[in-house]
Structure 1
Amino acid sequence: MIHTKRSLGRRLRAATAIGAVALLGLTACGGSGGDQVASEFTGEYTGPEVELSFWNGFTGGDGPFMEQMIDDFNSEHENINVVSNTMQWADFYQRLPAAVTAGEGPDVGVMHLDQLSTMAARNVIVPVDDLATTLELTAEDFTEEVWDAGVYQEERFGIPLDVHSLAMYYNTEHFEKAGITEAPTDAASFADALEKLKAAGYETPFWMPSLWPSHLMNLSLQWQNGGTPYDADESKANFASPEGLEAIQWQRDIVDEGFSPSNVAIDSQYVAFKNGETSITWDGIWQLNDLQESGLAYAAAPIPTIGAEKAVWANSHNFFLPRQTQPDPDKQNAAKVFIAWISENSATWAGSGMIPARESVRAAGALDGMPQEAIAADIDSMRFLPPIPGIGTVQTETLEVGVNKAILGEESPEDAMTEAADNASTLMEENKASFGE
């Protein structure tokens, strides 16, 4: 989504909590496609007319772009009519498992990459390896990170539509007044920019949120420091590793050194930046269209490399096929044609503020002149959560809590992240048993 996505963290907290309960009622299958037998997919659909139900959560400024793509697809395919069912993402993740179990799920859908493994582990969705094979989709046309993250237990469950990461937004008028001529790219230039902005009269130029998207900033910093936030093989969280502690300490230092207020509520940092009250903010590229419409004098750039390695948190919308109680081979193959067409024509999707996942689409000029073009230049540095079932709930109940306590000064960064890591590791072990791994 675009301007409404800054509330995604709150909505997903409800979704993961409720969705986890619903998922436990499904039978685990260890990533198997179950009884989903379709006729061989050839890349085309020549069968009888079918109507496909397409579930998605594009309720914001991204919605019109998807609707336009659906209309274009329908106009080119006389025997396939795609009907969009759009809902809030929190409702989406709550409704999907129950609907699939009741035989009332969609024919095709799109979800966030970090939800795929959970849905796959509970047999809510089925593998799409044949689709990828027939279309000759490989890691060569995507980044290896996003392509590999769609695989769970050696089967592919998602076809990436886009990638969307954190970015750095800065007020160009503030920068000019402070004598800053270029966007900061590393720890030294970022610290220098903050000092210059403060000297120019911008007392708190970079607000550090205590909640969303602070944990995404923290993940980015952990990766930049060479850390691995989650160890899937050992079901262990590494937030309290030296790399993790360095990350959270940097965030807390922003407050201690006076560059940020001590208690920044969720969304406040973005609203303050949009209103010209702050000079720099780190937020998702889904804010681009909203900022353009605001009239603010701003520019966007990749977040600085505070650590030793260039890295930034990212997510991706992935197409999926749900399990069907009564599989219809015609609908299944028609759905695959729809996914293939949208993937191949995803240049239109760039208008939503997202970055098309396919390199071939980007190379053809999809991002020329687009505000996210500078962010896409660093696409190889984007990092995604590992395909661990239940990872969304782990994030919400542990990492977000630990980061929040440390930023607010309720606990020392070391105590907060040690507690968070211990709780996350426990949850990961419990999830491993619950999801039948």
Structure 2
Amino acid sequence: MNIKKSAFILIAVLLFVSLLSACSSSNNNKPAGNAEPSPSNSPSGETTAPADTAEPVKISFWHIYSDGPMKTLMDQLLADFQKEHKNITVDQLGVNFFDYWTKLSTAMAAGSGPDLALNDTSTLPSRAKSGAILNVDSFIEKDGVNLADFFPVLVDKMKYDGKMFGMPNDTDVRVLYYNKKMFKDAGLDPNKPPANWDELEQYADKLTKWNDKKMLDVIGFSPSIGNLHLWTMAWANGGGFWDDQGKPTFNKPENVEALTWMKKIQDKYGVKAMSAFNSQASALGFSPFIAGKAAMVVDVNNLYQDIKTRAPDMEFGIAPIPYTKTPASWSAGFDLELVNNKDDKRAAAAWELMKYLTSADVQVKIHEASGSLVSNVKAAQDPKFMNDENWKMIVDQMKVSRFIEYVEAMPSWHGNLDPVEQSVLNSGKDPQKALDEAQKNAENALANFGKTQ
């Protein structure tokens, strides 16, 4: 996974949220293809499974697995599914990640979307509110699906107005990776990673190596490398960007403290040395941690798979993100949703496929093929995986992980925070001033949104 891929997922998907919401309302009563609207489809997006599901039915399923091991596995999984459900034919379409979101949003807005779609969990509320996707509570109840089998934070993110609008498929989580050999060489205990910000700073100082040209050979730790963002550090400091009433708290003292600490660490290296290091790191095409150029980095669990592929002999460990007040991590993820195509038979068949793909046995296979953190807890915690102490640490962080809040008035608020962070870390802007400006912008966004309601 690219260093900032998860942030890109959120931003890329949010670009078409407003288009989808606007268009779906005008197409909400229009049947897909030649299908007639069914009276059991309510305006709220609820659907009731038809009594007769043995009739032949063809459904479409869109996803991002266009090549590689997951494409091979998906082909096999769908073949197995169709053997078990002889009346259901699945027409799948795998589109590469970067083209998928535009294709899916355009199709859904036009009323020609697939019956089952892999989608971005963070933006689910917009589709649920517009009626673009179906509430699956009746299916869950009918089949006795136990939502306790899935990570609680993921189940929570699948709900809108108290109702489930799909099933979680897979997620990610941020953790601290540290190079054990470098720890030993620096006189640090390789079995005692930093637990708080003071220790993180002290360890980083000992692990950083400069060359005779005053350039960085090895960086101990930098908040700008990997997949660490201001919101994660703010959460770890007891901060946050929205209160319980949905009002912005961007310049909350805990947030300012977090950004100030990040600037303090970054300033130790200087703009010139940091710029040169980033240029070299970008040219690698993979994480500088794998290349032995960074002793510690906060990154997604996908980095673990990259390490096993590119540096299988590396001595490293995985630990929670160091914190001051509150253990915290950040997750994003994909889910499976039933697109509201006004056809109960296709919806019922698509539900069968959704239920199959999120079952424990299938999700074990998905993890084996991709290394991803699957949503089904039984699969993620399968004993054959949990024997790996690093994987166990990754799974354990789901207990403290959070998703970015979805704010209808400002769905890309987190994307707006990245340039604020960069202005402080790279351009020396005062953290308090930067977050005061971000607070004002958020307040203006909410005020402008209120005028449109």
TM-score by length of 1: 0.84
Conserved? CA contact 1:355–1:372, under 8 Å = no
Superposition deviation, residue 380 in structure 1: 0.8
Superposition deviation, residue 375 in structure 1: 0.7
2:18 aligned residue: 20
Superposition deviation, residue 402 in structure 1: 1.2
What SS does structure 2 have at the residue aligned with 1:47?
coil
1:361 aligned residue: 379
CA distance in 1, matches of 2:26, 2:4: 33
**Alignment of 1:192 onto 2:202:** yes
Q: 1:213 aligns with which of 227, 241, 244?
A: 227
Moved more, 124-133 or 355-364: 355-364
Conserved? CA contact 1:171–1:298, under 8 Å = yes
Superposition deviation, residue 363 in structure 1: 4.5
Where do residues 421-436 of structure 1 align in structure 2 (5 Å cutoff)? Answer: 421-431=439-449
Superposition deviation, residue 379 in structure 1: 1.7
**Alignment of 1:321 onto 2:338:** yes
Superposition deviation, residue 200 in structure 1: 9.7
2:62 aligned residue: 55
**Alignment of 1:388 onto 2:407:** yes
Q: Cα 1:379–1:11, aligned 2, differ >3 Å: closer, same or farther?
A: closer
* 1:294-334 CA-partner distances (Å, limit 9, x unpaired): 1251534233332211110112221111121xx22221111
CA distance in 1, matches of 2:427, 2:338: 44
1:106 aligned residue: 114
**Alignment of 1:91 onto 2:99:** yes
What SS does structure 2 have at the residue aligned with 1:317?
strand
Q: Unaligned 5+ residue runs, structure 2?
A: 29-40, 212-216
Q: Cα 1:68–1:176, aligned 2, differ >3 Å: closer, same or farther?
A: farther
CA distance in 2, matches of 1:288, 1:248: 27
Conserved? CA contact 1:116–1:158, under 8 Å = no
What SS does structure 1 have at the residue aligned with 2:200?
helix
* 1:31-64 CA-partner distances (Å, limit 9, x unpaired): x96275644378xx84223232112224576734
2:398 aligned residue: 379
2:358 aligned residue: 343
Q: Which AA in structure 1 matches 2:127?
A: M
Q: Which AA in structure 2 matches 1:285?
A: N
2:318 aligned residue: 301
Q: Cα 1:69–1:86, aligned 2, differ >3 Å: closer, same or farther?
A: same
Conserved? CA contact 1:33–1:127, under 8 Å = no
Q: Which AA in structure 1 matches 2:355?
A: A
Q: Cα 1:275–1:306, aligned 2, differ >3 Å: closer, same or farther?
A: same
1:407 aligned residue: 425
Superposition deviation, residue 206 in structure 1: 1.8
CA distance in 1, matches of 2:6, 2:67: 11
2:346 aligned residue: 331
Conserved? CA contact 1:172–1:298, under 8 Å = yes
1:228 aligned residue: 240
1:282 aligned residue: 298
Q: Cα 1:265–1:257, aligned 2, differ >3 Å: closer, same or farther?
A: closer
Higher relative CO (Cα under 8 Å, sequence separation at least 6) belongs to 1
* 1:49-102 CA-partner distances (Å, limit 9, x unpaired): 323211222457673444443343233322223333222445333333331232
Q: Which AA in structure 2 matches 1:274?
A: I
Superposition deviation, residue 25 in structure 1: 3.5
Count of residues in correspondence between the two structures: 423
Q: Cα 1:85–1:231, aligned 2, differ >3 Å: closer, same or farther?
A: farther
* 1:250-303 CA-partner distances (Å, limit 9, x unpaired): 221211233995447597495322222111111111222222111251534233
Q: CA RMSD in A?
A: 3.3
CA distance in 2, matches of 1:230, 1:23: 23
What SS does structure 2 have at the residue aligned with 1:175?
helix
* 1:146-180 CA-partner distances (Å, limit 9, x unpaired): 22222122222231122311122222332232233
Q: Cα 1:399–1:83, aligned 2, differ >3 Å: closer, same or farther?
A: same
Superposition deviation, residue 221 in structure 1: 1.6
CA distance in 2, matches of 1:432, 1:107: 34
2:33 aligned residue: none
What SS does structure 2 have at the residue aligned with 1:184?
coil
Q: Which AA in structure 2 matches 1:238?
A: T
Q: 2:49 aligns with which of 34, 40, 46?
A: 40
Q: Cα 1:27–1:232, aligned 2, differ >3 Å: closer, same or farther?
A: farther
What SS does structure 1 have at the residue aligned with 2:172?
strand
What SS does structure 2 have at the residue aligned with 1:277?
coil
CA distance in 2, matches of 1:213, 1:311: 14
Moved more, 73-82 or 109-118: 73-82
CA distance in 2, matches of 1:19, 1:265: 33
* 1:98-136 CA-partner distances (Å, limit 9, x unpaired): 312323100101222111112223332221222333344
Moved more, 55-64 or 264-273: 264-273
Conserved? CA contact 2:120–2:333, under 8 Å = yes
**Alignment of 1:76 onto 2:84:** yes
Q: Cα 1:67–1:310, aligned 2, differ >3 Å: closer, same or farther?
A: farther
What SS does structure 2 have at the residue aligned with 1:319?
strand
2:171 aligned residue: 163
1:153 aligned residue: 161
Superposition deviation, residue 358 in structure 1: 2.7
CA distance in 2, matches of 1:337, 1:407: 49
CA distance in 1, matches of 2:9, 2:67: 14
1:237 aligned residue: 248
2:136 aligned residue: 128
CA distance in 2, matches of 1:6, 1:276: 19
